[in-house]
């Protein structure tokens, strides 16, 4: 395939008298048109947000869409894809950051809208179509349909539906069209190492993320190949080609594993040194990089265990298929003689074959013969109501249990009110007890119990539940001088918890 | 394999003669005593006709197993041992518009509908939406073909009476998808532009119709999306379960199934050859000689495995002529 000479392009602009260029000149154009089409749904989102009821101009829809594609690609695992709800949930912080003043329900609506539009839920094949024109062999102009998907829904275990990004989406996203998976990965990682050695972590992170996209793509490709080898032992070269392929893949993993471990060591060093020289931002970047490379290693390990299973699987299939006694007569090779020749045919011709198979391959149905008498009954019978809620529950027979609580609700409220201390002013237990005694003679006992309980406050639980303040009690050695109670005169106070910071710290933690 | 067909002669004599040649029924043929034909013509009673019709009616309940029903089993034994009764049964079946595939304790009275029989399944009844839309109609047909191909991946599996195929819905879908992907790649390698002309959708390549239909889709009530390919394959296997051709074994990978003896007979003796004939009429089939087409490569064959190929088949042996 050659590109047209540079001189040929100029007369093209001169007018309609110019003969149509051949298909060779057109092909590159068609490929670029298709690549361009893949970005169209993203632009379309920003155009169409005006049609949504409400004020949505503050959202950058294309940005949310690209983030969604990133998220789906990164959560695409070996077996399954990304969970729809999980993606929506992980999109929310970004959407919320775009318009912090808007309600959370609207943020979720935007995230869902973007994700559903990327799947294109409205169309029957859940994909996109772009129309473009090319010149055929005879110079005639033909309009063609280009069908593509960005995020597709695939079946998961147990009938669930997962999301996966298509090759088109990954290619558009990574920006590397028509590249070899293996070499691109190696290139990405060499680049990463160079970047790290020069200390350019921002670039290194970009490269590491690209390496991870490549890893995902590579794992996906191998998974499909392995699945296919289960079918017919004779269809694959079990003697050389498949073992070679597996060995090659294992070599590749060993190589990558060594490589990535080396990178990991380097970045960890960079991360630990970064803080004193270049500031906390650098350290955070390095920590994220460690995460990404660790994820790469995890994916490789997963891939490796699959590859190791391949050998035993082959031997079992070999036993089953090759050592069975030969039968007297051979049947039809349904795939080789029917499906394989059928699929390349135009659909209007292929349909004759599938119709013939359908007519004779579906068995028989006994036609229902209805008498008029039965028909009347049948038509007059009210439809059976479906039981949505199951059988009716019997009304439970409840017996009122005696109220044996030592303290009443009012007393508890009163005690809690008493312990509602400002964070900067802790108080002695003795003072609290005296004040409680003035309110209610039974109250000091409850206050004392609460104070003792606060001596070992459940800090972790409070953080997990997002509490903002926590009661605590400390013993500083002072004796409690009280008419009812003895022991230490605890200092009781309120601690403020930084729940938001704690949550952020937990997600960043390695 | 000889077929019993209503249109090529429903005469009992002819059916009986072909039965003796039929290798699938060699046990019935070998035990047949000579000289019973004349005797049988004389002795058909209404009770015999009722029994024969009863046996045919058992055959019309494809999910009924002979081992589970004493009367069914006795009638099958009588069919085997009494040639006159066998001839009478076959004649009744032929008269009803049924094709007898095999009569044995294994498969029971395996009958299927002849082409224009009242028992035949029509695409219009099968999928209401499919009739006008040729893409859907094609996908439904292809789904049935793919189920059979996955259930009997090798020619030996189809001819081995003891073979039980196992399929899953997602496995079938993945299998066809991979085959389509391989074709897509080959078209891309050859530099073809497979996007169809906008005004001629019928000229779109068959694989492309399948490839661009989505595999699954979320629905409001958590059922399969009917128009997705797993929805279409799921409908096909559910229908085949009702035909007594598959038995559900589990819920893995969208539903796991195993084949019954009847399905093997149906595919081997009816559907496979009919589809083959149709394909031959289109003039595209390299005539198969019964040997497997999925062969190991030659000694010096250089395996051209693309990383994403899915199916490691060999290009020169797979292609259409």
- Quote the percentage of chain B above a pLDDT of 70: 71
| Sequence-ordered alpha helix ranges (H) in A279-338 | 280-322
Q: Using an 8 Å Cβ cutoff, are B245 and B258 in contact? A: no
| 8 Å CB contact of A332 and B276 | yes
The predicted pLDDT at position A272 comes to 66
Q: Where are the domains of chain B?
A: 12-113, 123-281
Q: Where are the domains of chain A?
A: 19-175, 179-319, 409-508
In the predicted structure, residue B260 carries a pLDDT above the cut 60: yes
Q: How far apart are CA A211 and CA A108, in angstroms?
A: 31
Of residues A13 and B153, more confidence is placed in: B153
The predicted pLDDT at position B320 comes to 38
Which residue among B213, B216, B311 sits closest to A154, beta carbon to beta carbon? B216
- Closest Cα in chain B to A224: B310
The predicted pLDDT at position A231 comes to 56
Strands A491-496 and A161-165: unpaired
Q: How many CA atoms lie within 13 A of B160 on its CB side?
A: 18
Q: Using an 8 Å Cβ cutoff, are B160 and A324 in contact? A: yes
Q: Using an 8 Å Cβ cutoff, are B6 and B97 in contact? A: yes
| Sequence-ordered alpha helix ranges (H) in A20-83 | 23-48, 61-75
User: Residue B178: pLDDT band by 50, 70, 90 thresholds?
Assistant: confident
Q: How far apart are CA B306 and CA B314, in angstroms?
A: 11
Residue A236 burial (C-beta neighbours within 10 Å; 0-12, 13-18, 19+): buried
The predicted pLDDT at position B33 comes to 43
In the predicted structure, residue A40 carries a pLDDT above the cut 80: yes
Q: How far apart are CA B321 and CA A341, in angstroms?
A: 8
How far apart, in Å, do the first and last CA atoms of chain A sit?
A: 51
Compute the nearest-CA separation of A183 from chain B (Å).
12
The predicted pLDDT at position B89 comes to 87
Compute the nearest-CA separation of B46 from chain A (Å).
24
Q: Using an 8 Å Cβ cutoff, are B21 and B70 in contact? A: no
Ranges A299-303, B84-88, B203-207, most confident: B84-88
The predicted pLDDT at position A217 comes to 60
The predicted pLDDT at position A201 comes to 58
Which residue among A144, A346, A362 sits closest to B239, beta carbon to beta carbon? A362
For the segment A321-336, the average pLDDT, to the nearest whole number, is 63
In the predicted structure, residue B208 carries a pLDDT above the cut 50: yes
Which secondary structure element, helix H or strand E, spans residue A141, and what is its range? strand A141-148
Residues in chain A, how many? 510
What pLDDT, in 10s, does the model give residues A474-506? Answer: 888 888 888 788 888 888 888 887 766 665 655
What pLDDT, in 10s, does the model give residues B129-161? Answer: 665 667 888 888 888 888 888 888 777 777 777
A324 in contact with B at a CB cutoff of 8 Å? yes
A341 in contact with B at a CB cutoff of 8 Å? yes
**ipTM value:** 0.72
Q: Using an 8 Å Cβ cutoff, are A340 and B175 in contact? A: no
Contacts of B232 (CB under 8 A, 6+ apart): B136, B139, B140, B143, B213, B226
The predicted pLDDT at position B316 comes to 36
In the predicted structure, residue B30 carries a pLDDT above the cut 70: no
How far is residue A199 CA from its own chain's centroid? Answer: 31
For the segment B181-192, the average pLDDT, to the nearest whole number, is 78
Q: Using an 8 Å Cβ cutoff, are B188 and B208 in contact? A: no
What pLDDT, in 10s, does the model give residues A147-204? Answer: 888 888 887 766 678 888 887 777 665 554 334 444 555 555 555 555 555 555 555 5
Of residues B236 and B130, more confidence is placed in: B236
Ranges A53-57, A75-79, A392-396, A406-410, most confident: A406-410
In degrees, to the nearest 5, what angle opens at C-alpha B149 toward C-alphas B267 and A233?
A: 130
Which among A115, A364, A369, A388 is the top mutation candidate for probing chain B, defined by the most B β-carbons within 10 Å of its own β-carbon?
A: A364
For the segment A4-29, the average pLDDT, to the nearest whole number, is 45
Of residues A102 and A327, more confidence is placed in: A102
| Sequence-ordered alpha helix ranges (H) in B163-271 | 169-189, 206-212, 229-242, 261-265
In the predicted structure, residue A20 carries a pLDDT above the cut 60: no
Which residue among B152, B282, B296 sits closest to A349, beta carbon to beta carbon? B282
Which secondary structure element, helix H or strand E, spans residue A214, and what is its range? helix A201-228
In the predicted structure, residue A263 carries a pLDDT above the cut 80: no
Which among B115, B146, B275, B280 is the top mutation candidate for probing chain A, defined by the most A β-carbons within 10 Å of its own β-carbon?
A: B275
Distances (CA, A) of B75 to A73, A192, A347, A503, B260: 61, 77, 46, 75, 21
User: Residue A452: pLDDT band by 50, 70, 90 thresholds?
Assistant: confident
Tokens of A200: 């350019």
| 8 Å CB contact of B240 and A362 | yes
pTM equals: 0.50
- Closest Cα in chain A to B286: A337
Place of tokens 């009690």: A473
Of residues A235 and B206, more confidence is placed in: B206
Of residues B172 and A465, more confidence is placed in: B172
| Sequence-ordered alpha helix ranges (H) in B60-168 | 70-81, 83-95, 123-126, 134-151, 155-159
The predicted pLDDT at position A401 comes to 76
């Amino acid at each position: 395939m050659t590109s047209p000479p540079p001189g040929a392009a100029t007369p093209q602009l001169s007018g309609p008298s110019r003969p149509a260029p051949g298909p060779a000149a057109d092909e590159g154009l068609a490929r670029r048109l298709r690549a361009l089409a893949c970005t169209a749904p993203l632009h379309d989102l920003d155009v169409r947000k005006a049609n949504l009821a409400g004020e949505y101009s503050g959202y950058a829809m294309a940005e949310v869409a690209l983030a969604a594609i990133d998220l789906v690609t990164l959560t695409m695992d070996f077996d399954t894809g990304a969970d729809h709800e999980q993606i929506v949930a992980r999109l929310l912080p970004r959407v919320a950051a775009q318009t912090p003043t808007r309600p959370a329900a609207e943020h979720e609506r935007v995230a869902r809208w973007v994700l559903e539009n990327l799947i294109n839920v409205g169309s029957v094949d859940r994909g996109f179509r772009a129309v473009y024109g090319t010149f055929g062999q005879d110079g005639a102009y033909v309009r063609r349909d280009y069908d593509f998907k960005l995020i597709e829904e695939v079946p998961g275990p147990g009938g669930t539906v997962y999301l996966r990004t298509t090759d088109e989406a990954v290619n558009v996203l990574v920006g590397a069209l028509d590249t070899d998976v293996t070499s691109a990965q190696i290139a990405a990682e060499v680049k990463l190492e160079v970047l790290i050695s020069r200390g350019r972590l921002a670039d290194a992170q970009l490269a590491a993320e690209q390496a991870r996209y490549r890893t995902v793509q590579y794992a996906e490709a191998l998974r499909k190949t392995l699945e296919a080898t289960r079918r017919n032992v004779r269809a694959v070269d079990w003697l050389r080609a498949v073992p070679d392929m597996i060995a090659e893949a294992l070599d590749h993993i060993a190589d990558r594993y060594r490589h990535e471990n080396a990178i990991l060591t380097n970045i960890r060093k960079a991360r630990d040194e970064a803080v004193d020289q270049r500031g906390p931002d650098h350290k955070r970047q390095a920590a994220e990089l460690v995460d990404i490379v660790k994820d790469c290693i995890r994916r490789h390990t997963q891939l490796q265990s699959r590859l190791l299973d391949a050998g035993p699987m082959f031997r079992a299939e070999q036993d089953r298929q090759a050592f069975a006694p030969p039968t007297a007569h051979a049947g039809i090779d349904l795939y080789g003689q029917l499906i394989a020749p059928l699929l390349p045919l135009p659909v209007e011709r292929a349909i004759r074959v599938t119709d013939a198979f359908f007519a004779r391959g579906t068995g028989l149905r006994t036609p229902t013969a209805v008498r008029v008498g039965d028909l009347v009954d049948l038509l007059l019978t009210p439809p059976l109501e479906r039981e949505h809620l199951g059988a009716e529950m019997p009304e439970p027979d409840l017996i009122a249990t005696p109220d044996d609580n030592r303290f009443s609700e009012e007393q508890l409220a009163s005690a809690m009110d008493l312990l509602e201390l400002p964070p900067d002013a802790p108080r002695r237990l003795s003072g609290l007890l005296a004040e409680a005694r003035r309110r209610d003679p039974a109250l000091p006992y409850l206050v004392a119990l609460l104070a003792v309980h606060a001596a070992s406050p459940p800090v972790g639980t409070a953080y997990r539940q997002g509490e903002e303040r926590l009661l605590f009690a400390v013993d500083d050695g002072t004796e409690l001088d009280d008419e009812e109670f003895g022991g230490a005169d605890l200092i009781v106070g309120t601690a403020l918890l930084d729940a938001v910071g704690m949550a952020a710290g937990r997600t960043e933690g390695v | 394999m000889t077929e019993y067909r209503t249109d090529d002669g429903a005469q009992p004599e002819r059916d009986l003669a072909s039965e003796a040649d039929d290798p699938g029924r060699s046990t019935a043929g070998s035990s047949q005593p000579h000289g019973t034909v004349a005797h049988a013509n004389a002795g058909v009673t209404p009770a015999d006709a009722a029994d024969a019709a009863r046996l045919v009616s058992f055959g019309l309940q494809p999910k009924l197993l002979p081992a589970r029903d004493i009367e069914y089993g006795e009638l099958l034994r009588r069919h085997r041992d009494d040639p006159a009764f066998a001839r009478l049964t076959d004649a009744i079946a032929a008269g009803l518009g049924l094709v007898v595939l095999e009569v044995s304790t294994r498969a029971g009275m395996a009958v299927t509908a002849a082409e224009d029989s009242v028992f035949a399944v029509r695409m219009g009844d099968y999928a209401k939406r499919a009739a006008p839309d040729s893409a859907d109609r094609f996908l439904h047909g292809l789904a049935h073909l793919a189920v059979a191909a996955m259930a009997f991946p090798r020619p030996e599996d189809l001819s081995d009476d003891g073979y039980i195929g196992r399929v899953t819905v997602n496995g079938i879908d993945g299998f066809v998808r991979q085959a389509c992907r391989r074709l897509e790649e080959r078209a891309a390698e050859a530099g073809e532009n497979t996007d169809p002309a906008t005004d001629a959708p019928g000229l779109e390549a068959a694989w492309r119709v399948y490839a661009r239909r989505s595999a699954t889709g979320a629905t409001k009530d958590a059922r399969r999306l009917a128009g997705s390919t797993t929805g279409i394959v799921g409908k096909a296997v559910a229908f085949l379960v009702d035909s007594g051709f598959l038995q559900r074994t589990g819920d893995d990978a969208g539903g796991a199934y195993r084949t019954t003896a009847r399905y093997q007979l149906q595919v081997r003796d009816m559907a496979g050859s009919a589809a083959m004939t149709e394909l031959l009429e289109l003039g595209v089939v390299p005539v198969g000689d019964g040997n497997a087409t999925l062969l190991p490569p030659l000694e010096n064959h250089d395996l051209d495995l693309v990383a994403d190929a899915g199916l490691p088949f060999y290009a020169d042996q797979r292609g259409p002529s």
